[in-house]
């Protein structure tokens, strides 16, 4: 078997023969800030240094610029700068020919770049970053200053050399790079092979998770929709398209309680009121979330600034300001900024409130229409049931009439067949005699009157 895919992914490794160096520039920031990035590398400051002209760069970036053809000049405004390495044994960086002449000797001249105010380092170190082992599966997020501690002491995805003995002759020590989560609490080498409990294939502990989820054909899982069993590696893809899979309405977060099969979801969305309102409410929630984040960010930065002020002195562009000067200016500025932010927030909240009041009648009208439609649907259902009952009654009456007609037709034919043929003229003669006697009686009566 090959190494686990998670181990082949990029991340942080600790090797005994090499120092545990960490590339801070490869960190992924959760919320990067544009105004805290180095103009040279375009990344958040790492060991920020400030020039006498007020610009801030990463220490390594500005020193690398000094070694370039530009020389000892500010990369932004080309101001001449002087810097001398303080570490013994390192070659001093020569000044550029265009640097200003000075009566001081190079040994006594102060450097024109120096560490930036501590508040810059504190803010950048507090920025949230993701773990370097993100590609291996670590979801840790924390401040930048704690990333090294996390990787060396806590992260289960950091790879170390396996120091367990191999069951081989002669006995040797396994030196494979292995994630911490496979080494903790184990007395035997995690690379020892054993049979899979489902298919019997030989695997190792680091390969177990990959084998169960992506390779094993006999590790079955039941679909939550159609209740059929599929291999674990393909059940997720099946559930993504299974028509029987039970889903909630997309507007469940704002109050819709509908649940049903995926094949009925489209029909539900056509009549769901909450689905029509969800985009509007999501936009409002997004605006409120942005306001909350802005308020939280401003509050945290204000606390950092106040903590620095309390220490007695704040460095601003290389010039020290006394506490009373800083406190008076910062107090007025922070008060003015706070008032402006408060007014801005009030205006945003008023806008949201007016939008909600404008939407509320529409919501009530839609609910009333929904109730009316539900009532009409119920009434229509009752009418359909009544019509079906009447149709069934008419069909039964029609059948009874047909049965009666069928019963009478044979009887009429039998009477005609049983009647004698000579009886018909006798009856006709009787009728003619009766009519003649009636005529004679009527003529005698007329003669008597005459």
Per-residue model confidence as pLDDT tens digits over 275-311: 888 888 888 888 888 888 888 888 877 777 766 655 5
Same domain for 20 and 150? yes
Task: Answer yes or no: is pLDDT of 35 > 70.
Answer: yes
Domain boundary among 154, 181, 198: 154
In a domain, 208, yes or no: no
Whole-angstrom Cα Rg for the chain = 48
Mean pLDDT over residues 258-267, rounded? 86
Domain boundary among 361, 381, 401: 381
Half-sphere exposure of 50 (CA within 13 A, CB side): 16
In a domain, 147, yes or no: yes
* Cβ within 8 Å of residue 115, ≥6 positions away: 47, 48, 49, 50
Of residues 256 and 18, more confidence is placed in: 256
Of residues 101 and 348, more confidence is placed in: 348
Local confidence band at 165 (pLDDT 50, 70, 90 cut-offs): low
In a domain, 427, yes or no: no
In three-state secondary structure terms, 155 is: coil
Calculated CA dihedral for residues 340, 342, 348, 351, nearest 10 degrees: -110
Tokens of 54: 């007020």
In a domain, 100, yes or no: yes
CB of 137 closer than 8 Å to CB of 209: no
We report the CATH number of the domain holding residue 83 as 3.30.40.10
In a domain, 354, yes or no: yes
Q: What is the pLDDT of residue 446?
A: 47
Task: Answer yes or no: is pLDDT of 169 > 60.
Answer: no
CB of 259 closer than 8 Å to CB of 246: yes
Closest listed residue to residue 223, CA positions, set 204, 245, 192 = 245
Q: Rounded mean pLDDT of the chain?
A: 75
Local confidence band at 17 (pLDDT 50, 70, 90 cut-offs): low
- DSSP for 186-250 reads -SS-TT--EE-TTT--EE-HHHHHHIIIII-SS-EEE-TTT--EEEHHHHHHHHHH-TT-EEE-T
Percent of the chain with pLDDT over 70: 71
Residue 144 DSSP code: G
In three-state secondary structure terms, 156 is: coil
pTM (2 decimals)?
0.48
Residue 312 DSSP code: T
Closest listed residue to residue 158, CA positions, set 178, 187, 174, 188 = 178
What is the tens place of the pLDDT at every residue in 226-254? 888 888 888 888 888 888 888 888 888 88
CB of 44 closer than 8 Å to CB of 127: yes
Q: What is the pLDDT of residue 143?
A: 93
Of residues 38 and 313, more confidence is placed in: 38
Task: Answer yes or no: is pLDDT of 171 > 60.
Answer: no
Q: What is the pLDDT of residue 332?
A: 54
- Quote the domain boundaries for residue 21: 12-154
Domain total in the chain:
2
In a domain, 449, yes or no: no
For residue 261, what are the CA distances in angstroms to 222, 225, 230, 268, 414?
16, 8, 19, 10, 67
In a domain, 428, yes or no: no
In a domain, 30, yes or no: yes
Domain boundary among 336, 360, 381: 381
For residue 144, what are the CA distances in angstroms to 36, 130, 164, 279?
14, 9, 33, 36
Task: Answer yes or no: is pLDDT of 129 > 60.
Answer: yes
What is the tens place of the pLDDT at every residue in 312-369? 444 443 444 444 544 554 555 555 566 677 677 777 777 777 777 778 787 877 888 8
């Amino acid at each position: 078997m090959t190494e686990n895919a998670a181990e082949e992914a990029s991340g942080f490794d600790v090797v005994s023969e090499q120092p545990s160096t960490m590339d801070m520039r490869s960190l992924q920031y959760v919320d990067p800030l544009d105004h805290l990035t180095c103009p040279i590398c375009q990344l958040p400051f790492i060991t920020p240094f400030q020039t006498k002209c007020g610009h801030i760069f990463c220490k390594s970036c500005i020193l690398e610029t000094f070694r370039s053809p530009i020389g000892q000049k500010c990369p932004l405004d080309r101001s001449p700068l002087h810097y001398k390495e303080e570490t013994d044994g390192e070659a001093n960086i020569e000044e550029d020919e265009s640097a200003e002449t000075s009566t001081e000797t190079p040994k006594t001249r102060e450097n024109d770049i120096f560490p930036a105010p501590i508040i810059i380092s504190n803010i950048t170190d507090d920025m949230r970053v993701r773990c370097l082992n993100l590609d291996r599966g670590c979801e840790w997020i924390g401040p930048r200053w704690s990333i090294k501690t996390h990787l060396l002491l806590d992260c289960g995805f950091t790879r170390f050399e396996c120091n367990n003995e191999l069951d081989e002759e002669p006995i040797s020590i396994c030196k494979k790079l292995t994630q911490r989560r496979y080494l903790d609490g184990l007395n035997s080498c995690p690379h020892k092979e054993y049979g899979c409990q489902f298919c019997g294939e030989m695997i190792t502990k680091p390969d177990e998770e990959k084998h169960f989820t992506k390779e094993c054909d006999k590790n079955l899982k039941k679909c939550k929709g159609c209740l059929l069993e599929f291999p674990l590696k393909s059940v997720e893809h099946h559930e993504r398209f299974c028509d029987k899979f039970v889903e909630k309405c997309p507007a469940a977060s704002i109050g819709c309680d509908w649940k049903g099969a995926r094949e009925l979801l489209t029909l539900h969305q056509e009549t769901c009121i909450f689905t029509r309102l969800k985009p509007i409410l999501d936009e409002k929630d997004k605006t409120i979330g942005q306001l909350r984040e802005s308020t939280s960010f401003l509050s945290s930065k204000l606390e950092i600034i106040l903590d620095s002020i309390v220490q007695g002195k704040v460095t601003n562009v290389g010039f020290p300001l006394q506490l009373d000067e800083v406190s008076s200016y910062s107090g007025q500025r922070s008060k003015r900024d706070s008032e402006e932010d408060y007014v801005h927030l009030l205006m945003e909240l008023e806008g949201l409130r007016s939008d909600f009041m404008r939407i509320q009648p529409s919501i009530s009208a839609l609910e009333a229409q929904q109730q009316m439609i539900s009532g009409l649907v119920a009434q229509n259902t009752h009418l359909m049931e009544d019509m079906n009952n009447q149709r069934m009654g008419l069909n039964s009456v029609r059948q009874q009439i047909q049965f009666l007609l069928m019963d009478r037709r044979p009887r009429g034919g039998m009477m005609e067949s049983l009647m004698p043929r000579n009886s018909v003229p006798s009856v006709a003669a009787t009728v003619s005699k009766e009519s003649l006697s009636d005529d004679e009686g009527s003529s005698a009566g007329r003669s008597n009157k005459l």
